[in-house]
Structures are given as structure tokens and as C-alpha cells.
Structure 1
């Protein structure tokens, strides 16, 4: 027997619940056999009954905005003879690249599903949300992955799914308490995700309103007290432009991941400020590489155009990147960094004619941009720094709560 089979209780339990969990098959906690929607392709209409498939299952929820379209009332009635969705049914994607994704029906509004979704209806002794979260555990997900292999694409038999081994507490109140805790964690994640979406939209709006994009035109939205026209510059007028380089990888002594300084490639760029990299340049390598100071703006100009960052410490970078060392007496760092979004758009236009996206140093230096006086730059830069910090903090919270949820899923179930 494996350790999981021997264990009759989860690692974490609510106080007062001490009974062993019972091993069952999935069908034992269901009111009826697992079913699905029609296997033929229905006629999609502009109005009628919403019709969904796997693409509507997003973040363990049904997103009706991603519906396939609508089906007629007559066709819906035909579908209902096989399966009629009802509140608290649980769905599991049983075929395709997203096999294993789950959702629970939280509406009484009529709709119907296509065959790639398996519909599970819990019996009266099973909390619907307990079942919903049980299907998200590593134990169940690994069974889904293993049993759906074998064809050109993943496909899970509903009859096999019914015989999956599970452990459940017979006390439905206990099931409900576990589910309620996870529901609350999911609500926090959803609220933080909504906040993140709002912050991103706010930044997008401010970018379009507070930066001068078109020729000889001041931005629509300005801080009080600023009225002078923005002036046109080329990037080479904003500071010193340097193209990165790659010290020969044949000389291992040029690299030292323990004590070296960052050597940034586009794959290292994940944050607005980059402090580290997968490979680092040694002291010997620094004599070969092109070293730039902290607060150099790195702009990807080959292939991954749009991946830009601020170098958080002295470092180097490869030839896919151009670095701008700003003249800080005239230009605000974060104002320029935020403006790199518009530089990247222009670079993509320049690169679109070729088979591979590439903008050389000269083309990069000659890109035109509009800049206000330093005081207005600093005001704008400070605003976007605060916005980006809020976005980063919110992303960290989402990651943290997702980790909490995963910990609970693996430790409050068997």
C-alpha cells in the first residue's frame, strides 16, 4: 500500500473532526452517471440559449463572455433530453489541451454545453463545492492527466472518470467547512484580480492621455501648472545609446554566476527593474563586455521587441538589447522608461517589413519622441512609478493567495 492509501485523514483538519475519511469511487458521490453535451456541431445563432465549451472555463469559473454563441430553443430542448444544466453541477474538461480544468455552475440562467465538458452532479450527501475543490487537488488532477493520455490529444473517458479513487469525509458539514474556506480564498483572489485589471486599464488610459503621441500635439491630460509645448527629440539626444554584446561562451572564465554582475538577455526581463540574470559576468568578463551603470534603460530591439526594463545595478546585456544611459540632468528615468512602450510600438512598425523583428542601433537612435520640461517629466514619472508599484504589489498578493490555496488543496484533502 502507498502512503496515500494508508492515510485515512488529511494533514490539516478543523477542530472537532476526527473521523477517518472513506475511500470511494467518484461515482459514489454523484447523483447520476457523468454525462456531457451533444457530440455533433450545433448550428450557432446570434441569439437564443448560450452555448459553452472548454474555452469558457477560465480560472475555475464559467466565463459566459467566451461562449461559442447561441443555440435555438428547439435545439436546447433536444440537448436537455440528454443533459440539462442546473445550479451546483460541476464541470471538468475531459478532452483537449486544457483537460482537467474545472468549474461549478453558479447560475439558474438556461444554457447548455458541448461534449468536451464532463458534467458531474453531486448527490445529497456531497457538498457541490467540496467536489469542485476535490477535482482540483493533485491527486485527482494526476489521475486525469494519466488516464487521458494515449491519443493524438488528451481525452478522458467518462466511465474511467467515474471509477477514480477518492477519499471523502462522510460528514457533509465538514465537507462544507472545507469548501467555505476555499471559497473565501477564491473570493480574495478574484477581488485582487479585479483590482489588477482596473489598475492595468487605468495605466493604459493614463498612457494614452498623458503622453504626447502625435506630431506637434500636447497630451490631452496634464498636471495643473504645466502648459508649455512638448518638444521633439530623437532617442540619441536623451543620453548615450549602447548595444549589448556577448563575451565568448568558449571562455568559461568570463562568466561567474556566484560573484558576477548581471548579464541581461530578453529572457531575463520579467519586471520593470531587473536586478539579476540567469548568467552573470565575472571580473575577467567585465573587461570584454560592455558595462553600463545602474538605471540604464534596456530596450529589446531583436525578436522580443516590447520587453524593456531598468537595470537595477551595474551590469551588462546581450546584443538583442540597446541600452540608454539617460542624461539625468535633463530627463527623468521613470518618465523615459514608461515612454519605452511607445518606442517599442514604433520599433515594431520599423521591423514589420523583415522576416525577423530587428531594429538596429541607428534606427533605434533615430526614433522620434516628445518630451516636456524636467519638472513635468518628474510629475508624470512619479505617477506611473506609483501605478506600477501598485500593480506589482497586487500581483504579489495574487501569487501569495494562490500559493495558500494550493497548500490547502494538498493538505486538507487526501
Structure 2
């Protein structure tokens, strides 16, 4: 059977069929020791190598045995007999690695081209799989068998073109991941500084123009529970942890419900809070729209309260693990919230204007986080699509 010898997408100027050669003919194994002058490297799955002394993994090694460590050159490949995610990684710098690894070098090969290929689902699950033996965490790679795998070999120039392009995509993925991480850390930091610590009456950071002490009131005095039924005209909602509510009919969760029982469902108004007796992540969520919800939920409304301010507070570690915890009973997945006890919790109550200011600021951070998450997700999907079309 004649197999396709060219990928679905090619860069301009490349028209020749790709060759197919044995992995062991393209990449030669080498083993050079007695290089104690080089830095010791460790492997990070999916990211190549890092200096072992700068790794956050607490790895102990006998420095007297470094003469037995293998040298690896930048951009060469590293394979462990044990099959973790296929076993292939790439050296990001010159160094020495544990003798348990195998090192592979290929003349006229571009590692930026072959690295995504070696980590692709096609290579790991189809080509490499026949040469993996053992079960579960004990899986190992038959190195000599692995060398018999047929791999694609385009011209070195085309390898460089594809590899360089994928490097650019990886750079953008890393850039947006870095920005996203910084925003998430900023939000976490601001949540600790914009709410008073235990016993304090004012937060560490405040917006200009606000000076009054924050009040402390019982949750049940600030938020009143209500229960309105017979609103079948409203859409049925379902809860998504950490994201509030979505229309049940648009949810990707296969939830079956008896539409004849909708008259018994509770109405909830946009921005009001929803509490389930069962304690999942604290049990608090926020309604993103008007609708009706299962009668198993409790609905809470607060006059002169800004849900953008209270939602991160109700989902904070301090609220869930300290304030709410005494009112949670049961074990494991059977944990439930004592709603009446919950209403006795003292919560902070700044002025409505300050709530709005803080809520608006946190909402803007959430918006930026969502934008960067969306861009990152799109880039990752683009990369996956490219990997399937840029390789034979």
C-alpha cells in the first residue's frame, strides 16, 4: 500500500516527498562519561532539561558518582528506559545526566521539528507502543526495538522551517501562559490584601477616598433567604463550580430532569447567591442570570450588597476553611452545610460604594484572566491542528 509521503500543509518552496528511515539510522546513540565539569541536569516532562541544582524537585545524588554520568549536548534527545509520556525529552543545554538515560544525536536534524513529533500521540500510541513492555508505572521501552521505528525525514531545510514555526507558536503559548499565571497570582495577592485579616477592621490595601472601619455583621442579617416557586416561565439553571450558573439546556452535562416538576423549582435572581446543603468547594455559587434551580438549593439576596465583592470572599480559603468549617458536618463526599448555623457567621461589611469599587476591580482582573485563558486555549488548539497537518 502506498502511504502518503507529504504532509497536508507545506511551506512554499518545498515539494519533494519526505523520506522514511529507521529511527536508529537517523539518530545515533552515544555514551560519553567523565565530564564532571559539566552541570548536572534533570528532566521535566514536556519541557526538556533544567539544572538539577535549580530544580524545585528535592533530588539527592552522590556527587562522587558524577564521573559515571552521561554527557548530553544541547538539542540532543534523551530517552529513559522507563516509559513516561513516551520517554523522549530534549536537552536544553549541555550537561550530564543519570546513566539510566540514553542519549541520541542526529546529524542534519532539527530538534524543534523532531521534539513535537516524538511527543505526538501518533508516535507514542501507535509507533512506539509495540516497543513498550510492562504494566502501569513499570512500563519500559525496548531501546533497540525503538530504533527500528520508521520516522519521517524531510530535508534539513524543511525541518528547520517547520521547527522554527512551531517554536514561534510555543513562544506565544508560553507568553500567554506566563501572563495568565501573573494575573492569577495578582488576583490571589489582592484577595488577601483587599479584605481585612482576622481581627482587623480595615484591609491592607484600600482605594483612595475610603477611610471608615469595616463593619462585622451576621451573614443571615446581610443576606436573606427567600424561596419563590411556580415560575415555570423562567429557564432552568444548573451550577458550574467556580463559574456560577448556566442554562441547563445549554450545559454539556447530561442532566435529566422532570419538566412536570418545574413548578417546585426555586426562582433565583441574577447576582443572588445559591447554597447547596452539600458542601462542594464551600457550597456557594452566584446566579449569572434569572432562572429557576433545584429545590435542593437555598437562595440568598442582600440589599445594598455587591455580588462581585462577596463572591470571591465566599469562595476564599479563609471563608471555606475557617469561617464555614464549623458549620459543615459529615465526611468526604457526604459533607453538608448547616445553613442556619452558616447564617451566624460574622462577615465583613464595608460601605456599598467600597464594595462596588473592589468588586469592579476584581471583575476586571477576572475579565483579563478569561481573555488570556481563551487566547491560550486557541493557541493550544492551533498547535494541535498544525501538528496533525505539518507531519506525514
- In the superposition, the TM-score normalised over structure 2's length comes to 0.83
Find the residue that maps to 1:335 and give its secondary structure. Answer: helix
Hey, what does 1:107 align to over in structure 2?
93
User: In structure 1, what is the Cα distance between the partners aligned to 2:323 and 2:247?
Assistant: 25
Structure 1 equivalent of residue 114 of structure 2: 131
Inter-CA distance 15–206: structure 2 relative to 1 (3 Å threshold): same
Q: Is contact 1:94–1:100 with CA below 8 Å preserved after alignment?
A: no
Q: Which residue of 1 aligns with 2:305?
A: 331
CA change 1:375–1:260 in 2 (3 A) is: closer
2:147 & 2:283 partners in 1: Cα distance?
46
Count how many residue pairs are aligned between Structure 1 and Structure 2. 372
Kindly report which structure 2 residues correspond to 1:310-325, keeping only aligned pairs within 5 A, or say none.
310-317=286-293, 322-325=298-301
| Per-residue Cα deviation, 1:89-134 (whole angstroms, up to 9, x for no partner) | 22356536x42265322223x342473xx54423112112211121
The Cα shift of 1:238 comes to 2.5
Q: Does 1:206 align with 2:190?
A: yes
Deviation at 1:292, TM superposition (A): 1.5
Contact (CA 8 Å) 1:36, 1:119: kept in 2 or not? Answer: no
Cα RMSD, aligned residues only: 3.3
Report what 2:125 is aligned to.
142
Name which of 260, 267, 279 aligns with 1:284. Answer: 260
Equivalent residue for 1:45? none
The match for 1:229 among 213, 219, 225 is: 213
Superposition deviation, residue 363 in structure 1:
2.6
In 2, Cα distance between the equivalents of 1:396 and 1:308?
25
- Aligned residue for 2:160? 176
| Structure 1 residue 269 corresponds to structure 2 residue 245 | no
| Cα separation, partners in 2 of 1:62 and 1:213, compared to 1, 3 Å | same
Q: CA deviation at 1:204?
A: 1.1
Which of 129, 143, 148 is 1:158 aligned to?
A: 143
From 340, 348, 352, the equivalent of 1:374 is 352
Superposed counterparts of 1:13-412, under 5 Å: 13-32=10-29, 50=40, 52-53=42-43, 56-57=44-45, 59-62=46-49, 64=51, 65-79=55-69, 83-92=70-79, 95=82, 98-100=84-86, 102-108=88-94, 110-113=95-98, 115=100, 119-143=102-126, 144-145=128-129, 147-148=131-132, 150-153=134-137, 154-169=139-154, 171-241=155-225, 261-264=236-239, 268-269=240-241, 271=243, 274-276=246-248, 277=251, 278=253, 279=255, 283-299=259-275, 302-306=278-282, 308-317=284-293, 322-327=298-303, 330-342=304-316, 343-346=319-322, 349-350=325-326, 354-356=330-332, 357-412=335-390
Q: Structure 1 stretch 278-287 or stretch 337-346: which is displaced more? A: 278-287
Q: Quick one: distance in 2 between partners of 1:362 and 1:114?
A: 62
Deviation at 1:236, TM superposition (A): 1.6
